[in-house]
A and B are shown apart, each in its own frame.
Chain A
Amino acid sequence: MINLQPYSNPNYFMILLAALLPIMIGLYFGRRLKIYEALFTFSFLVLTFGGDHWHQGVALIIYTIYQVGLTMGFERYRRTKNQTSIFVSTVLLSILPLVIVKFTPLFPNDHSFNIGFLGISYLTFKTVQVIMELRDGTIKEISWQQYLQFLLFFPTISSGPIDRYRRFIKDYDHVPDRKTYLADVDQAVFYLFQGFLYKYILGYIFGTLLLPNVSQAALSQRYALGGTGISWYLLAYMYVYSMYLFFDFAGYSLFAVSISYFMGIKTPMNFNKPFLAHNIKEFWNRWHMTLSFWFRDFIFMRFTFWVMKHHWVKNRVRMSQLAYLVNFLVMGFWHGITWYYIVYGLFHAAAIILNDYWLRYKKKHADQIPHNKWTEGLAIFATFNIVCFSFLIFSGFLNQLWF
């Protein structure tokens, strides 16, 4: 049985583009071939989760039935009632599978059926978003067919970008006119090749050619500087890993966006020149954007409203600091339950809180603080290095170096 991992090799792209052709011709002539699209999605799900990954396929099916049932149930309930306890339990039930998957590595001796599969996080982001919007009333009703299309939208299933239900359905129900569609396709081709450049050339140079070498060099210096392992090679590792992380993930995201555009769905972009950010706050508006916006809307904002409603914290500044801390801690835990992901979350929370102090100070003393090309350059340089340092924590390399 054939198994193909998304965007992993030239064959995959050839099969994918060939299968996309009917959809593209349809859209070119102003029609969306919904049945064909459903079959297309199904076949690629089988390719990704079939073969020797079949157990993931089974997990995906069970998970999908569970989530669709949960969401449709909540939608039915929400038409007439709106109790907070039901809402909270629905959200908890919705994230339960993900929580179990995240805790599984802590019990290496437990060999019962693994309910995880590639992309479970991203599906959970989507379901939680829909449940929350149902609660808010911004989504009134959903049909299970459309919900399935949204959940299992093939190009983004494995690692995002995380789309929003209403935005997705608007594109899905709407066929662009020929001129608009051709502009989309033009963009799609550009993104596809940008993705090739990022993932298969730059990502390869940093990840496959350089990373193992600097990694080995840095590990050989593990007794340097009084046993801390801090060496020039470690610094090199930090930068090489950061570049690899960016080009690999940005490349992957470009593929997902590109394939969506071919299908007439404008999946949002994930990266916007993140290393040119002037500060940490701006960085999170440029890096893995769909994730950070999801966290902003559904963790940061929700938490803020919730605390304000109960008048637990009066001071607005303290309030946002607390929300940042919760926001990034949750993100850290989501990455995985290891010390370095959690420290990574704490580090970014601290960075963004300090950054806030600085921004407020700057605002107050705007007349005394110079602002020109050089200070901007300095800001970009400082932000870049702070971010790279956080990625060094994130990489888990320190874990390898020290323990």
Chain B
Amino acid sequence: MKFGKKLWLIFGPVVIAVISVWIVLLLPLNHQRVSQDALRRGSVSLSTNIYHGQLFKKQAFAENYVPFLGSSELLRMDPMHPSVLAAKYHRSYQPFLLGSAGSQSLNHYFTLQGVHSELKDKKIIFIISPQWFTKQGQAPAAFSYYYSPLQAIQWLLTAKDSKATHYAAKRLLAMPSGKSSLIVENCLEKTARGESLTHSDRLLLDLRRHILLNEDALFSRFRLVDRWRRIEAGERVLPKRDSTTSLNRLAIRLARQHTTTNRFGIDNHFYSERLRGSRINGLRDSQRSFDYRQSPEYSDLELLLSEFKQVHANVLFVIPPINHRWATYTGLSMPMLQQTATKIKYQLRSQGFDHITDLTNDSQQNYMMQDTIHLGWLGWLKVDQAVKPFLTEPQDQPTYHLNSYFFTKNWQESLTLQKSDGQHGE
């Protein structure tokens, strides 16, 4: 008996700890709600826990928040940033920013899993950067940063057998993230082969999903980066009335003030932090060989399009311009950029995605960009001229007709947009 008591003294606390952890993880916590204030901060925080999780997204998309998918430009929060404009003028929508430096189509595809019912028939803004379309496409390290097992499990549990599904499973398996969990890897391999998951697979995934959802509910509201203050600071600068002329005037004034130290029209702070001194010399002609016309990213984009179709989303695509003076300095080819935009637009239009704002040809204009490749001031206003009517006025429900040709290597590497492209059968 004496030893029995001693055993209990040793292991009792461990047993109690293990049981309480399991209780917390298995408690039905996924009906938690986030306060309006937290949601507002979450919509502009760009924190990875929001991108990884689903608590915030689910609630936001059920309300008047509109997903703004993109990458590093979303962080350029000057007063003309979409989140500032929408907040200041009490528009019927508020952007929910998803994506940051390094997140591309494949990440966006997975981050939209788990919120399908909230996305149904919703409008979405999608800013496609030509810079994503490199020879290698999505960088595995960046992908891992934005990937979460919850996204993959939600996807595995709902994916229907299709070419898009096989493609997505293969892409995920090609990333280190896809191999980070044995059960997920196993199920991905089955899905990639077109086999259905067994009952026990689903049971395990379900359990894991439950635990992850609880972790999301418990922890995702912490460690939010607070950027709402920057939005408020922007609001204070904006004119009282939402008028194009006064906004344009303000944008030009601000842009002039912030681009005084260099001849590229690059924000002073960015220039002094990242380019000044000997660094800039090393960048001269450094982008001469950049080519965005052939890339696996085109098929990743197709995957995201299939997602848009699945949820009946009405999507406005924005192709941002780049800083023309910077491009000249680094030797980036403008014709190449135009061809890239044309290829992207062809892929979109030929499948019924007609809302496209291509700003590539606005690159020449001053004050469009905050720095080298990121929208700012007049650029954001130009985006707003398309975004505002798209989101505030009723739009026809589009019909999309997808073509699996865009998943092929042929399309990824195609340099000519012949009539036959896109005709290779459904």
Contacts and interface: CB of A to CB of B under 8 A. Distances in A.
Contacts of A185: 10
Interface of A: 2, 178, 182, 185-186, 189, 193, 220, 223
A185 B274 CA distance: 56
A-B pairs, top 4 by smallest CB distance, nearest first, are A186-B10, A182-B6, A189-B10, A185-B10
Given A186-B9, A186-B10, 17 more contacts: A2-B182, A178-B3, A182-B3, A182-B6, A182-B7, A182-B10, A185-B10, A186-B6, A189-B10, A189-B11, A189-B14, A193-B14, A220-B273, A220-B274, A223-B277, A223-B278, A223-B279
A215 to B, nearest CB: 14
A186 B14 CA distance: 11
A220 B270 CA distance: 12
A189 B15 CA distance: 11
Contacts of A220: 273-274
Contacts of B182: 2
Contacts of A182: 3, 6-7, 10
A2 B181 CA distance: 11
A134 B125 CA distance: 74
19 contacts: A2-B182, A178-B3, A182-B3, A182-B6, A182-B7, A182-B10, A185-B10, A186-B6, A186-B9, A186-B10, A189-B10, A189-B11, A189-B14, A193-B14, A220-B273, A220-B274, A223-B277, A223-B278, A223-B279
Interface residues of B, number: 13
| Majority DSSP secondary structure for residues of A touching B | helix
B149 to A, nearest CB: 12
Nearest to A9: B181
Interface string B282-324: 0000000000000000000000000000000000000000000
Contacts of B9: 186
Contacts of A178: 3
A189 B16 CA distance: 14
A193 B7 CA distance: 17
A126 to B, nearest CB: 31
A185 B9 CA distance: 11
A223 B278 CA distance: 9
A185 B3 CA distance: 12
A256 to B, nearest CB: 19
Contacts of B279: 223
A362 to B, nearest CB: 46
A220 B274 CA distance: 8
A200 to B, nearest CB: 13
B111 to A, nearest CB: 21
Contacts of B273: 220
Contacts of B3: 178, 182
A178 B10 CA distance: 14
B33 to A, nearest CB: 27
Interface in B1-45: 3, 6-7, 9-11, 14
Nearest to B179: A52
Interface string B180-196: 00100000000000000
Nearest to A181: B3
A193 B11 CA distance: 12
A332 B50 CA distance: 44
Contacts of A186: 6, 9-10
Contacts of A193: 14
Contacts of A2: 182
B316 to A, nearest CB: 33
A50 to B, nearest CB: 13
B102 to A, nearest CB: 13
Nearest to B21: A10
Contacts of B10: 182, 185-186, 189
A178 B6 CA distance: 11
A193 B14 CA distance: 9
Interface in B335-390: none
A141 to B, nearest CB: 37
Interface string B189-228: 0000000000000000000000000000000000000000
A356 to B, nearest CB: 44
A193 B21 CA distance: 14
Nearest to B6: A182
Interface string B157-194: 00000000000000000000000001000000000000
Nearest to A51: B182
A21 B321 CA distance: 64
Nearest to B277: A223
A223 B3 CA distance: 65
A189 B7 CA distance: 11
